[in-house]
Amino acid sequence: MEHTVDAMLNHPLGSVIGYFAVAVLELIVFLWLFEMVTRYNCWEEIRKGNVAVSMATGGKIFGLCNVMRFSIQSGSSIYETMKWSLVGFVLLLAAYLMFEFLTPFMSIDKEIAADNRAVGLTAMLISASLSYVIGTAIL
């Protein structure tokens, strides 16, 4: 099976479709896991127009995809890309939890759920910025 997948990935179109499919599947799984650690429902809040949740979620999406981009750019196999994106997810999740821990004077989740856009923007920038650090370490 692995050899068949590798043969398909050697073709440029197969490579694009393969990496795209992996990225979409990982985003679904990783966003679901992020949903489990937040005290609010991301998609329900976004549906209601909560910009802070949208910014924080967008930062997570960008961060995960950026880590994957660096992994693909490094010339890794699709299997290595999946491994490094998992490592990137764990590190981004840890950063989000540290953000909550290092701000004991407020609850990040409660502030984002209340549409505090300053906190949502900060969460987005933490995810985006750290994804570059993680990604550069992959290269």
Express each pLDDT in 12-34 by its tens digit. Answer: 898 899 899 999 999 999 999 99
How confident is the model at residue 2, as a pLDDT?
Answer: 67
130: pLDDT strictly greater than 90:
yes
Specify the higher pLDDT residue, 6 or 74: 74
For 2-6, 36-40, 90-94, 116-120, which range has the lowest pLDDT when averaged over its residues?
2-6
Task: Kindly indicate the confidence band of residue 1, based on its pLDDT and cuts at 50, 70 and 90.
Answer: low
How confident is the model at residue 128, as a pLDDT?
Answer: 97
Crossing angle of helices 51-73 and 12-37, in 10° steps, is 140
How confident is the model at residue 134, as a pLDDT?
Answer: 94
Ordered by start, the domain boundaries in the chain are: 2-138
Specify the higher pLDDT residue, 9 or 54: 54
pTM: 0.88
CA angle 68–72–73, rounded 5-degree value? 115
What's the rounded mean pLDDT across residues 81-102? 92
Measured CA to CA, the distance from residue 18 to residue 72 in angstroms comes to: 11
In the block, residue with structure tokens 């502030």: 111
Buried/exposed code over 53-89 (b: 16+ C-beta within 10 A; e: otherwise)? bbbbbbbbbebbbbbbbbbbeeebebeebbebbeebb
Query: How far lies 76's CA from each of 19, 73, 79, in Å?
Result: 11, 7, 8
Largest CA distance in the chain: 54
Count of positions (residues) in the chain: 139
How confident is the model at residue 74, as a pLDDT?
Answer: 87
